[in-house]
Amino acid sequence: MKKLTLLGDLTPAQFLSEYWHKKPLLIRQAIPDFKPLLSAEALFEMAADEDVESRLVTHFERKWQMQSGPLAQLPARSQREWTLLVQGVNLHDDAADALLRTFNFLPDARLDDLMISYATDGGGVGPHFDSYDVFLLQAHGQRRWRFGAQKDLSLVDGVPLKILRNFEPQQEFVLNPGDMLYLPPHIAHDGVAEGECMTYSVGFRAPAYQELAEAFLQFMADSVDLPGRYADPELEPCKHPAEISRAMLAQVAHEIDKVRFTEDDIAIFLGSYLSEPKARTVFTPPQRPLPPGRFAQSAAKRGVALSRKTQMLYRGKHVFINGESFSAGRADKTALCLLADTRKLDGPSAAQASPDVQDALYNWYQDGWLNLV
């Protein structure tokens, strides 16, 4: 199997079996000669945008403070100990999207976003742990990471951030641009900027089962089909009119017990749920969309690509795009799975697609979910 420098000497399979969810890994020069994809100024501009999720964390006079974006004003770059965190940069910038996609040895359903942090000297978010795996790629300047697998994960009370009460790091490294640190969930860590620095975090998505179950039951409420109505032809006079009878309870329990969840129900729910765009996502439809015939001609010549904000997944015959689900026939599935996996269709593949797929491509183009290349 091909080796990625992203993982040093390891193949994706070796990385997954030895490190993923298990132990930290430092990869020196995971991306040799890495240059930041965005300037600090461009990041500050993004933080001022209300469609972008951002946070400012300061540690002035030894006091942790946090402010959520949009952030029109930031402290001076000459001031020590502040950091700006911009979430979901991949949704707004092609190069950031391309970097996130280089991690596609991991499933799209697990990959969350690319967060960029900018910090002045001494800046960071304090010693903490996360519930998710993360790859921390140093993009600019230097950051000192200290981390360890401590058992005591108790937090300081009364601060607006998760700060570990007793941080006991076991390892320490200074990362230079292109170096990358992988941390599994629940590893205590603290990254402190040594001079001005920028760090890119590739984050993962691991929904809580409670969150999935609540959303699943809501989803099922729309599709549950339980015919009939309560009836009691054998009813007898009651002594306690306020009491719900055992017979009534048994009859209702018997009926509700008929509601069954199939694997198909769960597949349709999961794909729709995981492909749902994030809260602030706004798609940009083409300003002057081509009519269907011209679109088909251009698609056949140039091909099409999913917009960086589009999440397209599939399972069996079910195809999901931005929260919508539909089932595809065998012939259409090939083209749709190719589009979902590679996020594009070249001209010949777009031209060969069935009329149904061509229609879908045109609708997605009109919605800004897909673009002509």
User: Rule CB under 6 A: which residues touch ligand SIN?
Assistant: 83, 117, 124-125, 130, 134, 189, 191, 199, 201
Minimal distance in Å, beta carbon 116 to ligand SIN? 8
155 exposed, middle or buried (CB, 10 Å; 0-12, 13-18, 19+)?
middle
How far apart, in whole angstroms, are the C-alpha atoms of residue 318 and residue 269? 10
Q: CB-wise, 125 or 357, nearer to ligand SIN? A: 125
Minimal distance in Å, beta carbon 194 to Co ion? 18
Q: CB-wise, 82 or 273, nearer to ligand SIN? A: 82
Residue written as token pair 């010693």? 127
Q: CB-wise, 124 or 271, nearer to ligand SIN? A: 124
Q: Residue number with the shortest CB distance to Co ion?
A: 130
How far apart, in whole angstroms, are the C-alpha atoms of residue 83 and residue 300? 47
Q: CB-wise, 175 or 274, nearer to ligand SIN? A: 175
**What is the identity of the amino acid at 264?**
D
**Binding site partner of 275, from ligand SIN, Co ion, none, Cβ cut-off 5-8 A by kind:** none
Q: CB-wise, 148 or 368, nearer to ligand SIN? A: 148
Q: Can you count the helices (H) and strands (E) in the chain?
A: 10, 15
Q: CB-wise, 201 or 349, nearer to ligand SIN? A: 201
Instruction: Rule CB under 5 A: say whether 130 interacts with Co ion.
Output: yes
**Binding site partner of 141, from Co ion, ligand SIN, none, Cβ cut-off 5-8 A by kind:** none
Residue 171, strand partner residues: 147
- Hey, what are 338's tokens? 């190719």
Minimal distance in Å, beta carbon 7 to ligand SIN? 20
**Binding site partner of 117, from Co ion, ligand SIN, none, Cβ cut-off 5-8 A by kind:** ligand SIN
- Select from 68-76, 122-130, 174-182, 261-269 the region that touches Co ion (CB under 5 A): 122-130
Instruction: Rule CB under 5 A: say whether 356 interacts with Co ion.
Output: no
Each residue of 103-128: b (16+ CB within 10 Å) or e? beebebbebbbbbbbbbbbebbbbbb
Closest C-alpha to 143, from 186, 76, 184, 189: 189
Residue 339 gets the label, from left (phi > 0), alpha (psi -120 to 50) or beta, of alpha
Q: Which residues bind Co ion (CB under 5 A)?
A: 130
